[in-house]
Amino acid sequence: MRDIIEGLRKQYQEAEAELSHPDLMKDMKNFRDVSRQHARLREILEIGDRWIGLTDQVAEHKNLLRTETDQEMIDLVKEELPGLQADLEAVSADLELALLPHDPNDDRNVILELRAGTGGDEAALFCEEMSRVYVRYAERMGWKTELMDGTPGTSGGMKEITYAIKGESVYGILRWESGVHRVQRVPATESQGRIHTSAITIAVLPEAEEVDVDISENDLRIDVYRAQGPGGQSVNTTDSAVRITHVPTGVVVQCQDEKSQHKNKAKAMVVLRSRLLEKAIADQDAVRAAERKSMVGTGDRSAKIRTYNFPQSRVTDHRIGLTVHSLDAIMQGDLDPIVNAIHEYRRQEALDANRRGS
C-alpha cells in the first residue's frame, strides 16, 4: 500500500508541475482534466498520509509491547493501542474507497430531462412535481439550476421539462436517478376516489462542454418557430423557439423558454452536446447502454425503478429494496435518504468487484 501511495504522490507532483506550465492554458480541455486529476490525487493523498501515520503508530505501539520493561509505559500503550487500531481500520476503509476507479464524468454538471409517460394528464402533473423536487434538492446541495425547456400538458403539469444543474459532482450524485419513476395516488380529477398509477421517465445526462463534442454546423438542421403555451395560445409573437436536429445521429432538441432566438439556440446546443456525449459514452460501454435503455425507454410502468405511493406516504426504490415512509419530506426535496442509500449500495458493489479482481 505504501508503494501505491508513493506512486500517487509522484503523479500528484507531476500534475502540479504541469499546472504551473504556461502552455497548459492554451488547451482548456487538457487544463480541466489535469486540474481535476490534481484535486482528486490531493484528496487521496490526504487519506493516504493519515493511513501511513496510523500504520506507523500502531507498529510502534506493538513494538513497545514487545520491548518495553516499564510497566507504567506498557499499561499506557495497551490503553492507546485499541483506539489507534480502530482509527486505522476506519481510514483503511476510506482509502480503499478512494482508490476505486474514478469516473471523470462524476465531476460534471448535468442536464436533467423529465418526461411524462404512462398516465396522461396525471403523468404530466407528476412530471412537473418531480421537477420541483430536484430543484429543491439542488438548492439544498448549493447547486444552481437553469430551466432549459418545457412543454406544458394539455390539462396542467408538464409533458416534458429540462433543467441544467451546475455544482460540485452533480452527475456523480444524481446519475442513479435515471429511470422510470412510478406514482400511485388518487388524481384530483378522480371522483370515485380510485388510486391511479402513472409514470414518468427521468434522464440524467453529464453536461458536455464545447471541447468535449465536436459538432459541425453542416451537420445541423435548425428550425425556428413560434413558441406555444397551453391550449395553443402563443406565448410570444416572434419566431423565437428553436429546434435543432443533429442529422448524423437523428438527435433532436428544442428550446422555447427564452424570448430571444439566440438564447434559445445557445440553450438547445448545451442539451444537444450533452445528449451526444451521453451517446458516445453509451457506445463505448455496452453494459451502460443496455442499462440506460432499460431504465429510460418507454415510460412503461413495468420498467419502474422507484414508486411513490401517496396513500401510504411510502417511497420504494426497487433496485436496492429500500422503502422509506417520508414521502412529504422527499417531495420537498429531501432526497438524501434515497440518494445516500443508493450510493452506499453502488460503492459496496464496486468494492466487492474490486476485491474479487484483486
CATH number, residue 73: 1.20.58
* 110 in a structural domain: yes
Kindly provide the residue ranges of all beta strands, DSSP E only, lying in 207-246, ordered along the sequence.
220-225, 241-246
Question: Are the CB atoms for 178 and 162 separated by under 8 Å?
Answer: no
Q: Tell whether the model's pLDDT for residue 318 goes beyond 50.
A: yes
Q: Report which of 316, 346, 37 is spatially closest to residue 172, judged by C-alpha positions.
A: 346
**Per the structure, how many domains does the chain have?**
2
Q: Grid coordinates standing for 346?
A: 453502488
Mean pLDDT, to the nearest integer, of 39-55? 95
* 72 in a structural domain: yes
Q: What is the pLDDT of residue 174?
A: 97
Q: Does one domain contain both 213 and 320?
A: yes
Look at 299 and 122; give whichever has higher pLDDT.
Answer: 122
Residue where a domain stops, chosen among 49, 70, 98:
98
Q: Does one domain contain both 234 and 342?
A: yes
Q: Report which of 113, 101, 99, 120 is spatially closest to residue 150, judged by C-alpha positions.
A: 113
Beta strand 241-246 pairing with 144-152:
unpaired
Kindly tell me the burial class for residue 289, based on how many C-beta atoms sit within 10 Å of its own C-beta (0-12, 13-18, 19 or more).
middle
Q: What is the pLDDT of residue 232?
A: 42
Residue where a domain stops, chosen among 72, 98, 124:
98
Look up the CATH number of the domain holding residue 221.
Answer: 3.30.70.1660
Question: Are the CB atoms for 170 and 137 separated by under 8 Å?
Answer: no
Look at 188 and 46; give whichever has higher pLDDT.
Answer: 46
Q: What is the pLDDT of residue 28?
A: 77
Q: Does one domain contain both 141 and 218?
A: yes
Q: Does one domain contain both 112 and 88?
A: no
* 125 in a structural domain: yes
Q: What is the pLDDT of residue 238?
A: 65
* 111 in a structural domain: yes
Q: Does one domain contain both 175 and 290?
A: yes
Q: What is the pLDDT of residue 284?
A: 66
Q: Does one domain contain both 47 and 192?
A: no
Q: What is the pLDDT of residue 295?
A: 45
Q: Does one domain contain both 180 and 326?
A: yes
Q: What tens digit of pLDDT does each residue of 231-289 get?
A: 444 455 567 899 999 999 999 999 988 888 889 999 999 999 998 988 887 776 655 44
Query: Who contacts 77 (Cβ-Cβ below 8 Å, separation ≥6)?
Result: 61, 64, 65, 68
Q: Does one domain contain both 335 and 308?
A: yes
d(CA 84, CA 308): 45
Question: Are the CB atoms for 269 and 251 separated by under 8 Å?
Answer: no
Q: Tell whether the model's pLDDT for residue 37 goes beyond 80.
A: yes
Q: Does one domain contain both 84 and 140?
A: no
Q: Does one domain contain both 209 and 317?
A: yes
* 357 in a structural domain: no
Q: Could you tell me the strand order of the sheet in which 220-225 lies?
A: 220-225, 241-246, 251-255
* 75 in a structural domain: yes
d(CA 323, CA 307): 9
Q: Grid coordinates standing for 341?
A: 442509500
> Which residues face 316 on adjacent strands?
307, 323
Residue where a domain stops, chosen among 98, 119, 134:
98
* CA angle, residues 159, 161, 165, in degrees to nearest 5: 160
Q: Tell whether the model's pLDDT for residue 210 goes beyond 80.
A: no
When pLDDT is cut at 50, 70 and 90, the band that residue 31 belongs to is confident
Q: How close are the terminal C-alpha atoms of the chain, in Å?
A: 13
Q: Tell whether the model's pLDDT for residue 291 goes beyond 60.
A: no
Q: What is the pLDDT of residue 286?
A: 58
- Residue 150 is inside which H or E element, if any? strand 144-152
Question: Are the CB atoms for 316 and 307 separated by under 8 Å?
Answer: yes
Q: What is the pLDDT of the chain when averaged over all its residues?
A: 88
Q: What tens digit of pLDDT does each residue of 140-198 get?
A: 999 999 999 899 998 889 999 999 999 999 999 999 999 999 999 998 767 677 899 99
HSE-up (13 A, CA, CB side) for residue 97: 15
* 18 in a structural domain: yes
Q: Does one domain contain both 311 and 262?
A: yes
Q: Does one domain contain both 247 and 302?
A: yes
Q: What is the pLDDT of residue 9?
A: 95
- DSSP letters spanning 251-296: EEEEE-SSS-HHHHHHHHHHHHHHHHHHHHHHHH-HHHHHHHHHHS
Q: What tens digit of pLDDT does each residue of 82-133 get?
A: 999 999 999 999 999 899 888 888 989 999 999 999 888 999 999 999 999 9
Look at 122 and 298; give whichever has higher pLDDT.
Answer: 122
* 356 in a structural domain: no
Question: Are the CB atoms for 267 and 257 separated by under 8 Å?
Answer: yes
Q: What is the pLDDT of residue 345?
A: 94
Q: What is the pLDDT of residue 231?
A: 40
Q: Tell whether the model's pLDDT for residue 226 goes beyond 90.
A: no
Q: What domain range is 16 assigned to?
A: 2-98
Give the 3-state secondary structure of residue 2. helix
Q: Tell whether the model's pLDDT for residue 292 goes beyond 70.
A: no
Question: Are the CB atoms for 196 and 101 separated by under 8 Å?
Answer: no
The alpha carbon dihedral of 228, 229, 230, 232 has a sign of negative
